Structures are given as C-alpha cells and as structure tokens.
Structure 1
C-alpha cells in the first residue's frame, strides 16, 4: 500500500549552526518534480539537495555535498514512509561547523523524514487507463455516471459517430463500470482497457 501527500508541506530546523529548510509536495511526473524543486530552491543557500519518486522512476541530487550524504538519504525518507509521487527539497545554509558524512546523512535524511511525517497523506488508488467510445445519443448519460466510479476524462476526441474518451479509473471499479456501461449504451458502446497510467 502506498501513499502520497495531500499538499505541499514545509519544515525547518537548525543542526550545529547549519539551518535546514525542507519542502515536500505531491508530483505527477518528472516535470512536476523539476518545477517544484526550481520554485523552492534558494540560489543564496549553500546546498539545495533533493529527491523525488514517481512509480518506478526516481532521481536525487547531492548538490555539492559529499556523494551519497544528501540526495540518497532524502529518497530513503520518501521510500521509508511508503510514499510515491512525491518530491522533497532540503535547503542548507552552512553555519560554519562541519557535520561529517554520517552527520550529513542523519541531518538530510532526518529533516526530510520529519517533514514527511508531519504531512497529511492519502492512500493511492491503483488506476487503469480505459478507452471509451460512445454515441452522441448516449454521451450525456454515460458522462453523468463517470464521477460515481472515480473515472476522470484525460482525453476527448469527436468523430461522426460520437465521442472517444480516455479515462483514468480505479481498477477496483472497472468490472462494475463495464457492466453498467453495457447497459447504458445497450451494448453499442466500446470499452478497451489500455494501460496502467502510472
């Protein structure tokens, strides 16, 4: 079971005269993560270290700290709390006292973990991508039922017969929706399970 964050959250602490500020946010993809990191980084800070994880994809950056002492501990904090689709940025303003490699790992990983622990989380629902073709006469009726199944239209195209939708839908709703869809369209509509959108 995995979770993601409800909203952006922040945390600050001072460790041996160095100030650490942490921001964490839900992200959908690598572009979201990069935009979030760019928006919250401080060019005047000593280091802007970060990590993000979206499904099987992840990245981390030590931003000048010794290799493996910042980005990786931040990523481990994300994974340690069963989080996905999350980006975390830890900004450090050096206070004059060196922490050593072990101290840096504890500082970056610990600050990230404390920020994430304080964040409001929601359970992620496994979704599937469904192609859906509906005639104009059935379009309004089918569309009115989508929200009840947690289905979201992610693409819409029209042709002479009607509409083609791409839907993201919770996997657990698919069988029930398929049966109702057949009834609503009197067997005339078409549903195709395409891919897992994650």
Structure 2
C-alpha cells in the first residue's frame, strides 16, 4: 500500500469557453471514491439536462491507481471526449477528482481533432484554476504509558507531526494518536527506545 501523500481538490472549480459557436463548460470537483464520482456526474447531467453532451472522466483514488479511473464520451464520437478528459486528469498528479464537460452545440462540426482539443483543453484550463491540498495517509495508534513519560511522548507526537485524538487517565495513560502511516514504524521505535520499552504502541484495528 502506498503511504505517500498526494494532492486532492480543495474546492470545486469551473471553466467555460466558446469554440465555433459550441459552448464548453468544464466542472472539476473532489470525489473521494467511484460512487462520489458517479454522483457528481449525475448532478451535472441533471443541471444541464438540456445539453447535447455531458462527457466525463474521473480519477477516484490515488492519482496513479488506474483501477479507480473511468470516462465516457456521452454520445460524442468514440475517443474524442472521455479519453482526452481522463488523460488531462491522470497527467495532473491530482487524485480523487472528477471532470464533467458540458457541451451546448452551436451547429458547426468541430471534427474529431477539434473535439479532442476542446474537451482536453477545457480540462487543462480548469486544472490551472484548481486549488489543491495535500492528503496525508494516516493511521491511529494506541499508546499505553506511565505519567512520567507523557512529556516525552507529546514531544515525539509533535516531532512526527501527529496529533492526539483522545486520552484516558487511570493507573496509566492510554492515548489514541494519529500519525502519517509512512512514519508509524519510526514513531513506534522512538517511543519504545525513549521509554526503555515501558510504553506500548498498538495499531488500532482497521489501520
């Protein structure tokens, strides 16, 4: 499993242009999974139910995970819309993203090359406007430790850019912390070393 952070959209954006009397409106949105991607496509299709074509593509997981990709020409000639849209998305390095390009036809044929350029170009321009944030892949760990080790434990949590989710205080302190998954092994080893193996670190189920 890849634990490296990746970029995702922080907010939706859109880009509109007119090419030979056809209007192309490109919508980009954050869609964390395939169901969310399909729901966003349907939302835009309903919004523009009077449009001739609502073509789309999505990268619904990590940017490089092609198992989470999908696209549709929605009635345009095969290969002229969905694939150019997906090509722009998959080449952007952004994950969990869906693009829908709505076309209101102006009656002038663009030809296959013109369509590829229009659909791919619209997404390319929209991506330039897109605001992104970094998605960190995290895991939750339970720490059991003596009160005297708390300051060192909190220092280590800060050092590894983690944060405390909860803490229970009884004869010992039981904390749940969230750490980037790629740092879990180093964090665990540091806790064990600094505590003289007195503190216990346990990954929570499902992590």
TM-score by length of 1: 0.74
Is 1:87 the counterpart of 2:98 in the alignment? Answer: yes
1:46 maps to which residue? 52
1:166-193 Cα offsets, whole Å, 9 max, x none, are 957241x324432465468942342379
1:159 maps to which residue? none
Distance apart, 1:61 and its partner CA: 0.7
Is 1:105 the counterpart of 2:116 in the alignment? Answer: yes
Would the alpha carbon gap of residues 64 and 188 (structure 1) be closer, same or farther in structure 2, given more than 3 Å must change? same
Is 1:116 the counterpart of 2:120 in the alignment? Answer: no
Would the alpha carbon gap of residues 32 and 186 (structure 1) be closer, same or farther in structure 2, given more than 3 Å must change? farther
More divergent stretch after superposition (178-187 vs 110-119) = 178-187
For the residues of structure 2 that align with 1:63 and 1:150, how far apart are their CA atoms?
45
Distance apart, 1:30 and its partner CA: 0.6
Is there any run of 5+ residues in structure 2 with no aligned partner, and where? 166-172
For the residues of structure 1 that align with 2:124 and 2:6, how far apart are their CA atoms?
16
2:84 corresponds to which of 73, 77, 84: 73
Is 1:24 the counterpart of 2:28 in the alignment? Answer: yes
Kindly report the root-mean-square deviation, in angstroms, between the aligned alpha carbons of the 2 structures: 3.6
2:184 corresponds to which of 159, 174, 177: 174
More divergent stretch after superposition (18-27 vs 78-87) = 78-87
Is there any run of 5+ residues in structure 1 with no aligned partner, and where? 154-161
Secondary structure at the aligned position of 1:7 is classed as coil
Would the alpha carbon gap of residues 95 and 166 (structure 1) be closer, same or farther in structure 2, given more than 3 Å must change? farther
2:202 maps to which residue? 190
In the alignment of these two chains, the number of paired residues is 183
1:74 touches 1:112 (CA, 8 Å); kept in 2?
A: yes
1:149 touches 1:177 (CA, 8 Å); kept in 2?
A: no
Question: Larger radius of gyration, structure 1 or 2?
Answer: 2
Would the alpha carbon gap of residues 123 and 166 (structure 1) be closer, same or farther in structure 2, given more than 3 Å must change? closer
